[in-house]
């Protein structure tokens, strides 16, 4: 039988170390909402989502109460809207009407984000894909809870450089369209290479076409729990360090598995996956950067950071995989800047640069995330940064992503406040040398060779 020390350990994790379930995300297929009549598409989408998700928030809260574990977010992901709206939408404005429907139903069922205002264009763009992408600035400016993502490349297809170029422009336009709110729209827009179909985390969640009609995916968290566990093994060797991370990740993930199964049972929706991510928040003690410091770095970004992150990421997976029957999504350590107090401190101290962050993304999920850059950054420069990150994902057969926020009207040395889970960020300098000629070539980068890996 469970003893008092085990009970105390669990509750200590929850109460003092910020252990929580970061999100229950209900994936809903909208393929059956496709119609040539836009009004009908919007109606069908509204009803399908409302019916599927009306009990999601209450169920999440109930489970949270029963087990005494916070479930921070309840969210929805849907089939990429570029597919759902392709038959009905003749202009970007038509797509914006679907964004407004998604926002409306998100408010009504009480979820804080709805993801899937997306296009998958890793090899080429259909007319509908391009219209959706061009509608993103207006869609994100006119909605509150809609999240958008675009898959620009994959290991199998290479990188769609036309779309990369376009996204550089779209990110700047989104920043401009939401400049009154410090370009907040860009915090809800992410581009991917090798985007997973079952990611529960925003802004990149969408319900892939390989998925069933409805599915429950759960994202766990717990950087604070790992950090506290590591405090007890200071000075020990790497074997002890790695074992400690693994055991802690196991415990954290088991809670996610329990919540996922329970949500699945109560909502009568199949359980999909648990995403084994270490997801930080701006709260003190809920930081991935602090774990890196505990491993032995003065600041995230110091020499050794990439190695420390690589081992952390790997041990989290090794511990978590056994704790859950199905693992998927992004599964790894997240390194967003604005959402992690330790990362913010590292940038402010001058320890962490954009280039070091890029190196770090080679060994962890996901990518250049929640990084504020000067508002006068050129579109081609943003495209160049995106291309670099996509290349890392393509060659290393992993998911990479870019979520940059060019803050209109602000420059290096200033900070930007997004509020809530999105946090705040110092604006980071960007390499000012031009990549115009590279980005403007057009076309796509071929898929890499899959053999001869030396």
Partner 1 sequence: MKKTIITVVGKDTVGIIARVCTYLAENQINILDISQTIVQGYFNMMMIVDTNRTEKDFGVVAEELERLGESIGVIIKCQKEEIFNQMHRI
Binding site for partner 1 (CB under 8 A): 1-4, 6-11, 62, 65-69, 251, 254-255, 257-258
Q: How far is the CB of 9 from partner 1 (least distance, A)?
A: 8
Q: How far is the CB of 105 from partner 1 (least distance, A)?
A: 27
Least gap, CB of 4 to partner 1 (angstroms)? 4
Spatial separation of the C-alpha atoms in residues 13 and 370, rounded to whole Å: 27
Contact between residue 150 and residue 191 where contact means Cβ atoms under 8 Å apart: yes
Cβ partners under 8 Å of residue 418, min gap 6 = 182, 184, 187, 338, 424, 425
CB–CB of 326/272 below 8 Å?
A: yes
> Given the complex with partner 1, which of 172 and 255 has the nearer CB atom?
255
Instruction: Pull the structure tokens for residue 222.
Output: 């717990």
Question: Which is nearer to partner 1, 62 or 424 (by Cβ)?
Answer: 62
Give the shortest CB-321-to-partner 1 separation in angstroms. 13
Q: In terms of Cα–Cα distance, which of 346, 233, 362 is closest to 290? A: 346
Q: What's the min distance (Å) between Cβ of 264 and partner 1?
A: 14
Phi, psi torsion values for 261, nearest 5 degrees: -65, -40
Can you say whether residue 62 is alpha, beta or left, with left for phi > 0 and alpha for psi between -120 and 50 degrees? alpha
State the angle between helix axes of 223-231 and 238-267 in degrees (0 to 180), rounded to the nearest 10.
150
Q: Would you mind telling me the total number of residues written for the chain in this entry?
A: 454
Separation CA 234–CA 343 (nearest Å): 21
Nearer to partner 1, 181 or 322 (CB): 322
Residue with smaller CB distance to partner 1, 3 or 451: 3
The total of other beta-carbon atoms located within 10 Å of residue 92's CB is: 17
Q: Of 281, 198, 143, 258, nearest to 26 (Cα)?
A: 198
Assigned token pair, 119: 């296009």
Which of 46, 62 has the CB closer to partner 1? 62
Closer residue to partner 1, CB minimum distance, 321 or 395 = 321
Tell me how far, at minimum, the Cβ of 251 lies from partner 1, in Å: 5
- Cβ closest to partner 1, residue 214 vs residue 251: 251
CB of 68 to partner 1, least distance (A): 4
Cis status, amide bond into 204, omega within 30 of 0: no
Please work out, in degrees rounded to the nearest 5, the angle formed at the alpha carbon of residue 432 by the alpha carbons of 427 and 433. Answer: 160
Whether 35 and 84 have beta carbons less than 8 Å apart is answered as: no
> Toward partner 1, which CB reaches closer, 154 or 221?
221
Name the residue nearer to partner 1 (CB basis): 170 or 255: 255
What the block records as the tokens of 237 is 């060797």
207 or 251: whose CB is closer to partner 1? 251
Give which of 444, 354, 408, 377 is closest to 168, Cα–Cα: 377
Q: How far is the CB of 281 from partner 1 (least distance, A)?
A: 21
Looking only at the bridges linking them, the beta strands covering 21-28 and 71-78 are parallel
What is d(CA 387, CA 401) in angstroms, rounded to the nearest whole number?
10
Residues facing 415 on adjacent strands: 426
Q: How far is the CB of 324 from partner 1 (least distance, A)?
A: 11
Q: At closest approach, how far in Å is the CB of 6 from partner 1?
A: 4
């Amino acid at each position: 039988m469970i003893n008092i020390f085990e009970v105390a350990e669990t509750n200590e994790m929850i109460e003092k170390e910020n252990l929580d379930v970061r999100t229950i995300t209900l994936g809903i297929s909208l393929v059956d909402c496709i119609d040539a009549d836009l009004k009908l598409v919007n109606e069908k989408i509204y009803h399908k989502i409302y019916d599927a998700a009306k009990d999601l928030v209450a169920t999440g809260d109930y489970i949270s109460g029963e087990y005494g574990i916070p479930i921070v977010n309840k969210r929805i992901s849907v089939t990429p809207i570029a597919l759902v709206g392709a038959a009905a939408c003749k202009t970007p404005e038509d797509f914006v009407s679907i964004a407004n429907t998604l926002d409306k139903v998100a408010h009504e069922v009480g979820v804080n984000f709805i993801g899937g205002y997306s296009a998958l264009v890793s090899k080429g763009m259909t007319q509908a894909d391009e219209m959706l992408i061009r509608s993103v600035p207006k869609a994100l400016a006119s909605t509150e809870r809609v999240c958008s993502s675009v898959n620009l490349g994959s290991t199998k297809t290479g990188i769609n450089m036309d779309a990369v170029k376009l996204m550089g422009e779209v990110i700047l336009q989104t920043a401009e369209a939401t400049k009154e709110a410090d370009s907040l729209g860009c915090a809800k827009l992410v581009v991917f290479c090798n985007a997973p179909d079952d990611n529960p985390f925003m802004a990149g969640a969408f319900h892939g076409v390989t998925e069933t009609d409805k599915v429950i995916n759960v994202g766990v968290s717990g950087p604070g729990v790992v950090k506290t566990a590591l405090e007890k093994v200071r000075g020990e060797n790497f074997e002890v360090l790695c074992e400690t991370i693994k055991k802690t990740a196991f415990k954290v993930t088991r809670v996610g598995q329990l919540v996922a199964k329970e949500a699945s049972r109560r909502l009568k929706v199949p359980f999909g996956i648990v995403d084994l991510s270490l997801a930080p928040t701006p709260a003190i003690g809920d930081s991935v950067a602090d774990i890196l410091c505990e491993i032995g770095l003065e600041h995230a970004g110091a020499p050794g950071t990439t190695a420390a992150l690589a081992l952390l990421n790997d041990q989290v997976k090794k511990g978590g995989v056994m704790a859950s029957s199905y693992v998927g999504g992004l599964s790894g350590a997240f390194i967003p800047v604005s959402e992690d107090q330790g990362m913010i401190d590292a940038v402010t101290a001058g320890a962490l640069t954009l280039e070091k962050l890029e190196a770090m993304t080679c060994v962890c999920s996901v990518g250049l995330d929640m990084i504020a850059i000067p508002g006068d950054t050129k579109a081609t420069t943003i495209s160049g940064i995106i291309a670099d990150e996509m290349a890392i994902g393509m060659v290393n057969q992993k998911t990479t992503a870019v979520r940059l926020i060019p803050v209109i009207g602000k420059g290096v040395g200033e900070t930007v406040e997004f509020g809530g889970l999105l946090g705040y960020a110092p604006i980071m300098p960007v390499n000012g040398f031009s990549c115009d000629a590279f980005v403007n070539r057009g076309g796509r980068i071929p898929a890499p060779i899959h053999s001869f890996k030396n």
